[in-house]
Amino acid sequence: MKRLKLLGLGLFALGCILSTGHEVLAETPRVVGQVADIDGSTLMTSRFSEDGWFLAYPTMKTYFQERMKTGEDTSATIEFAVGGRAVVSPGTEVEVVGREARVLRLKQGALWAKFEKQETEFQIQTAGGVIGIEGTEFLVQVLPESEETDLLVVEGAVRVDNDAEQQLIRGGGEAHFGRRTLRLARFADRTDQQSDIRNKAFGRLTGRGALFLRRLVERRLLQRNRRDRHNRLFYSDAFRKLHTSYRSRRNLRPRRPLLQQVSDLRIQGDTPRFDWEPVRGAHHYGIVVSLDEEGEVPLWHGSTEEASLKYPSYGPELEAAGTYYVTVIPVNKDGDALERRGRSPARTSQFIARGHQPEYSKVTGVSERHRTFQWNALEDAVLYRITLQSQDGETVWVGESDSSTYVYPVRAREVDATSVTVEAYDSAGVLMGSGAGKVKSF
């Protein structure tokens, strides 16, 4: 099951993880989040059995006291209902417990997380102590041999309580702690840019899955396997450099963004086509169409090796006479946004749309035999989402494939499915089209 992150291009709704032993309980089970993405083949859940584990699937709701664990080749992204997201590394087990489901128990492994500002503290419990979060970005790992915990704070502040003492760790600070020990240090200066602090934090992370986490979070958060997809974190760093005046690392001050026209940018037709002058040193270009010049509310993004790109026919609606922004970000061969003297040569331009309505394609030939699903591929589609539904329309399974074939996993639970929907997505996670068929083997 290849992983997915549907960048609905505002890209970024947030939720969480985990549930109780069965789907059927005396009380209504409490939903605490959602499995937003799976990268790899093995994310397991305890929800469907008291004494066994079954495969989880993308978009699956998660419940209070549900345990989840990743295989050695798998990472998962969890969205929390309280407002936060965690990327869980391979070999990690977690469970949501505590009052109002505001405690995440990290039993083993490592995770990166970012939470919105919390009115009530959210906690992460490890064998070493308790981490209190009110809104921040951080990395945490449980060291398997000593059961001690490493915490690295990228942004905001985190409280550490190991029963012996409490300490507040701010951005650029780290803590190594167990039940009897607490050691503090600084790995980055407070004047460093956030992306630099994040890079240094990953450099300090040494546990299993650290490199995997870094690949996912650093500038390609939730990038799918075998796919050249850029994402919000990558673009937000590029936008930050575009809208920041660089003086020195000790005197880095934000400035009011300047709307700078991409050289010879041309926008043609009701479905816009963007053309610009090539940039020296660029291997390819990232294109972001957004509602604001800072790129905080993106509608669509893509990439091209040419100095030209057409807005897709299935792209999100552009209202006639509406004001939009397009940003062209030159990218080097390593996948990093180009920089010159600490600045990005990316440029943002405003345009007035003539009106565009998305046109979706039909995914044809959807069929199932012996629990193997097939359909006709769509051009430019890089991922397909397969959704199985019961007779009453309830979703009972979601799978993903980067080809036009999908086999229902042997380790998945038995489901009562009568129909299947196949959705096709482009490299930006934008829906291109869909199709449906009947299910006979379930």
- pLDDT category at 406 given cuts 50, 70, 90 is very high
Mean pLDDT of the 429-439 span: 91
pLDDT cut 70: percent of the chain above it: 74
Least confident of 119-123, 291-295, 364-368: 291-295
Residue type at 308 in one-letter notation: S
Beta strands in 182-271 (DSSP E): 182-186, 244-248, 251-254, 266-267
Q: Under a CB-based contact definition with an 8 Å cutoff, are residues 45 and 91 in contact?
A: no
Q: Which of residues 1 and 135 earns the better pLDDT score?
A: 135
Contacts within 8 Å (CB) and 24+ apart, 290-293? 290/324, 290/325, 290/326, 290/327, 291/324, 291/325, 292/325, 293/257, 293/259, 293/325, 293/327, 293/348, 293/350
Least confident of 90-104, 130-144, 148-162: 90-104
**Mean pLDDT value across the chain:** 76
Q: Which of residues 239 and 10 earns the better pLDDT score?
A: 239
Matching residue, tokens 């949501």: 96
For 343-364, write each residue's pLDDT tens digit: 666 777 888 888 889 999 999 9
pLDDT at residue number 300: 84
Least confident of 256-260, 326-330, 367-371: 256-260
* Both tokens assigned to 412: 């998945």
Q: Which of 77-86, 252-261, 295-304 has the highest mean pLDDT?
A: 77-86
Domains of the chain: 31-213 (2.60.120.1440), 232-352 (2.60.40.10), 361-438 (2.60.40)
**pLDDT above 50 (res 68):** yes
**pLDDT above 70 (res 234):** no
**Rounded Cα distance, 297 and 272, in Å:** 19
**Rounded Cα distance, 295 and 148, in Å:** 40
